[in-house]
Structure 1
Amino acid sequence: LRQFPFDEFDLDIADLVGLFTRAPDKASALLHAVLEIARQYDMKDEHFLRAALRSYQEIHDNYFPEIEESAAAFAKQHGLDSAMPVQYEALTELLQTNFNYRLDHTSLSKQPALAGYRAVFFEGAKPRFLLNPTLYPLQRKFLVARELGYAHMKLKERSHTSTPDRVGSFRQVLNDFKASYFAGALLMPKARIVADLSQFFAQATWNPAPLLAMLQTYDVTPEMLLYRLSEVIPQAFGMRLHFLRFHNTGGEHQLIKRLNMNKLLLPSGIGLHEHYCRRWLSSRLLSDLADYREQGGNGAGLPLVDVQISEFLTHRDRFLCIGFARPLVLAPNVGSSVIIGFQMNAELNKTIRFAADPAIPVTIINETCERCPLTSAECGVRTAPPIILQQEQLKAERKQALKQLQAQL
């Protein structure tokens, strides 16, 4: 409880203490239930803290003007805003000259046990920043830009490895997020990216060329680009969205990262061992990527990019989804897809003209295979039987039978 960021949600721990003093038995039962659920699903502190961060981001529509302003002022001060893309050499020079860093591009490659790290930070009077040379240059550039974010904004409580080995506090998670946000804003300035998006959205028909051009203009990965769009679109265009990142590991599609600002029906949880609907654009792109690689694709067609309108089977809500897929650099056998999605409505059609393009496929989707009523004849990509749906149907039948029996007695 000491780690939970009550202040970030305008709460006081005294409120929780008050609950325990007013109704100690009920409060103890509630706490016991929460802890029992946490143990059952093997939930760690990190899961709670990252869930708190997601809620914090969603409350603010994932837009933080103070970080935008800090990144813009930093770029202007150091002449980084004159042309795109921002140059790696300019960022490393700033990190070394202005913040007294020592950069190391070789040490991580000498230790096989450290090959999975993207970067490692060692504190000191002259901090050392070790970068994995296996990464693409644009990935190393993002890491240096993020390190500038830590240094410029004086964020002390932070992760020392990427990906973090441990999460000790919400402040650490929040500072990591702030530094990454700073990096995205530095490499993809808001005014420029909004102008590019305005042109992209003004197309009468779907054409991914402008989106692919943004990858080149800003020299970023698909993940960096779409996550940056999740930061600027809600504020600049008034459209809430969702962001999903999936990995395909040995045929298993895993949800790795998400932001859900438009209330997408998304079954989730540490203990959820179900199979996400393979009709989602996220999963379809992963399957397309696997097929591409099995057929001997040489990488010239990567990243894959596509669009679809996803319509939920039960409540018929529609979402315009746009996404990319590519292999991971440090784990080439793992496919990664990222998508952003917008709920379809009249306002969306006014803002994104190509949303009305009849050539965009409309695909019926559901939550997971285990909950889906579609038959094998209706869905050719089912990966698991509908066992949860069958259990729910059995419960409903029992309930109805009990009612009938009660009426007869």
Structure 2
Amino acid sequence: MNMEKDYIKLIFGLKLKQARTNKNLSLFGLAKITELSKSYLNEIEKGKKYPKTDKIILLAEKLEITYDHMVSLKLDNNLAPIGEILKSGILKEIPLDIFGIQENDLIDIIANAPAKVNAFISTIIEIAQHYNLSRESFFLAALRSYQEAHNNYFEDLEQKVLDFSKAFHIDMNNKISLDELAAVLREEYGYTIQELVFSEQEELGDLRSIYVPKSKTLLLSLEIDEQQKAFILAKEIAYNYLKIEDRLYTFSWIKFDNFDQVLNNFYASYFAGALLIPRKKLIGELNVFLSKSNPTGDEMIELMNQFNVSPESFYQRLTNILPKDFQLKNLFFLRLSHKKGTDTYQIKKELHITNQQEPHANEMNEHYCRRWISVKTIEAAIAEKKEHYFGAQISRYDNSSNEYLVFSSATADPFKKDRLRSISVGILISTPMKKKFKFINNEDMKRQVVGVTCETCAVKDCEERASPPIQLEQKKRHENTDLIVQQYMAKFS
């Protein structure tokens, strides 16, 4: 099996460091007994250099281990998980530098405390395998962490949009048209745009666009609406204007080959959202809306309709603007999916700004609280047969007493037949938040005590409950058992 040179150097460096620490030698001490420079040995341990044969023989002799052991790619048990990670190439695929981490620094941390850190890594791997976490899911989780670490606001991309609008004379105060977007792609970037009936091929039923790089042809599904088409065109502009080459060629995505594609897909999507929903205009419209004492759902829908975007793009944009320009840094974004005729609701996308907020995805097949406005809007959209049903409520979570103002929009899922989805943004209610939302204390605002999942919820006499609180009851049983055990311990001490 051919191993990458980098992998071989890293493994040798780990083995050298382990052998040195087993002898209680510092780098200075090893340098002294081998007459090799400390900086040279440090480079070897960090996996940056691989010594020549005579140097390996010298190191093996002074460390009292065999040459074969030094050059073998087999790691001791306590370092084996590191070897698996290095061999998999996962560290190469994830640009650790965006998290402020250098690969060699991470390896150094692991090597300094192999037993504890490797137990942690092994646990993470086991959890991933247990829940069948795919490579794509891992990448998306890493991306979500990156977004959350930056409060989902990226100043450089915001500036790129402004630079683009200036260079192409795009009026950011007016709704950008499909003709403008298409003209930029055709005239500036040499695109051919062609519309086809994708649904004629069953395998293409979930796709909305395909980009053919060789001929610069963008194939669009005839079944997409104007908002979807605008986002796809804006995203193609982003790929070109930002000079992104390692990219995805379908929307929605089929697979990611590496993490760079995940990250670049996000950058292009962010650019598209910022182009279609200009920051300055959105801030102005939100200030008007928030100053109202009793706004209606129709007024919120009218606000969204001022931009040529889907509800999901609008809510995503709120997660950029609210933390940055309204200092509302505790919020969550959820996309909930539901198939008609079933009692199943699934979180398909989530984002938590600043902290892990209350509602979150779980892999326990539990039932999400039916009192969520995210669920209620889907139910109402089906019952009232509305293309876009908007709802809002103040949700107080029973387990923490945290309160959130939650906006939610339910529409047909454009990618799945007989499915609906709701897009929601929840904002933690605090004193500063109340000053910005004039209608927060309005008596007409619906208030609801909610849980996370039925299985963990302590709310009594809940008519919407989809499952008994079995997880909560089991937890209480364990607590009661522990209490009695402590009593026996005290009695017989």
Give the aligned partner of residue 396 of structure 1.
Answer: 479
> What is the aligned counterpart of 2:358 among 252, 261, 265?
265
Question: Is 1:407 aligned to 2:493, yes or no?
Answer: no
| Residue in structure 2 matched with residue 246 of structure 1 by the alignment | 336
Match of 1:148 in 2: 237
After TM superposition, the structure 1 = structure 2 runs for residues 157-306 of structure 1, keeping only pairs within 5 Å, are 157-240=246-329, 241-249=331-339, 250-263=342-355, 264-269=357-362, 271-292=363-384, 297=385, 299=386, 302-306=387-391
Aligned partner of 1:344 in structure 2 is 429
2-side partners of 1:89 and 1:354: how far apart? 39
Give me the CA root mean square deviation: 1.7
d(CA) in 2 for partners of 1:71, 1:90: 15
**Which of residues 283, 300, 311 in structure 1 aligns to 2:396?**
311
Using structure 1 for the length normalisation, give the TM-score. 0.93
Note if contact 1:108-1:130 (Cα within 8 Å) is conserved in structure 2: no
Counterpart CA distance in 2 for 1:170 and 1:66 is 20
Aligned residue type for 2:376: R
Structure number with greater CO (CA < 8 Å, separation at least 6) is 1
Contact 1:135 1:330 in 2 (8 A): no
2:164 pairs, out of 50, 74, 90, with: 74
Match of 1:138 among 209, 218, 227: 227
Q: How far did residue 123 of structure 1 move?
A: 1.6
In structure 2, stretches of 5+ residues that fail to align are 1-90
User: Does the 8 Å CA contact 1:248/1:335 hold for their aligned counterparts?
Assistant: yes
Q: Which moved more, 1:20-29 or 1:331-340?
A: 20-29
Name the counterpart of 2:45. Answer: none
Name whichever of 1-10 and 150-159 sits farther off: 1-10
Residues 46-75 of structure 1: CA deviation (Å, up to 9, x unaligned): 222111111111121111111111112212
Q: CA deviation at 1:313?
A: 0.9
Cα distance, 1:161 vs structure 2: 1.5
Judged with a 3 Å threshold, the aligned counterparts in structure 2 of structure 1 residues 82 and 28 are, in CA distance, closer, same or farther, namely closer
Aligned-pair distance for 1:219?
2.2
SS in 1 for 2:394: strand
SS state of the match for residue 380, structure 1? coil
Match of 1:116 in 2: 206
Q: Secondary structure at the match of 2:365?
A: coil
Q: Runs of 5+ in structure 1 lacking a partner?
A: none
- Match for 1:314: what amino acid? N
Kindly provide the amino acid, as one letter, of the partner of residue 394 in structure 2: I
Distance in 2 (alpha carbons) for counterparts of 1:368 and 1:32: 29
Return the offset for 1:83. 5.1
- Partner AA of 2:465 in structure 1: R
Residue 15 of structure 1: which of 105, 110, 117 is its match?
105
One-letter code of the match for 1:265?
Answer: E
The reply on whether 1:362 has 2:455 as its aligned counterpart is no
Q: Compute the displacement of 1:213 (Å).
A: 1.6
Cα distance in 2 for residues equivalent to 1:267 and 1:257: 9
Distance 1:261 1:151, change over 3 A: same
What amino acid does structure 2 have at the position aligned with 1:337? Answer: S
Separation of aligned partners in 2, 1:49 and 1:188:
27
Residue 473 of structure 2 aligns with an amino acid whose one-letter code is Q
Conserved? CA contact 2:451–2:459, under 8 Å: no
Tell me the distance in 2 between the aligned counterparts of 1:336 and 1:308. 18
Shift of residue 203, structure 1, vs aligned partner: 0.5
| Cα distance in 1, alignment partners of residues 350 and 370 from structure 2 | 17
Deviation track 1:324-380 (CA, whole Å, cap 9, x = no partner) reads 1111234241111011111111111111111121110110011100001223xx211
Instruction: Give the conservation status (yes or no) of the 8 Å contact 2:197–2:223.
Output: no
Deviation at 1:266, TM superposition (A): 2.8
1:27 maps to 117
Paired with 2:400 and 2:463, the residues of 1 have a C-alpha distance of 22
Q: Does residue 324 in structure 1 map to residue 409 in structure 2?
A: yes
Deviation sequence 1:185-234 (CA, Å, 0-9, x none):
11111111110011001101232343212232212211111111111121
The AA in structure 2 aligned to 1:397 is N
SS at match of 1:358: coil
1:271-323 Cα deviation digits (max 9, x unpaired): 2311111111111112222322xxxx3x4xx3111110001112211111111
1:233 alignment partner AA: L
Instruction: Select the structure of larger CA radius of gyration.
Output: 2
Instruction: Give the CA deviation at 1:262.
Output: 4.9
Q: Deviations over 1:90-117 (max 9, x none)?
A: 1111111111112121153442221210
Given the two structures, how large is their TM-score scaled by the length of structure 2?
A: 0.78
Alignment partners' CA distance in 2, 1:188 and 1:15: 40
For residues 310 and 262 of structure 1, do their structure 2 counterparts lie closer, same or farther at Cα, with a shift above 3 Å needed? farther
1:13 corresponds to which letter in structure 2? Answer: E
Q: 1:320 to 1:262 in 2, by over 3 A?
A: farther
Q: Deviations over 1:130-151 (max 9, x none)?
A: 1111111221111111111011
- Report if aligned partners of 1:102, 1:129 keep a CA contact under 8 Å in 2: yes
Which residue number in structure 1 is paired with residue 43 of structure 2? Answer: none
Instruction: Report how far residue 34 of structure 1 moved.
Output: 1.7
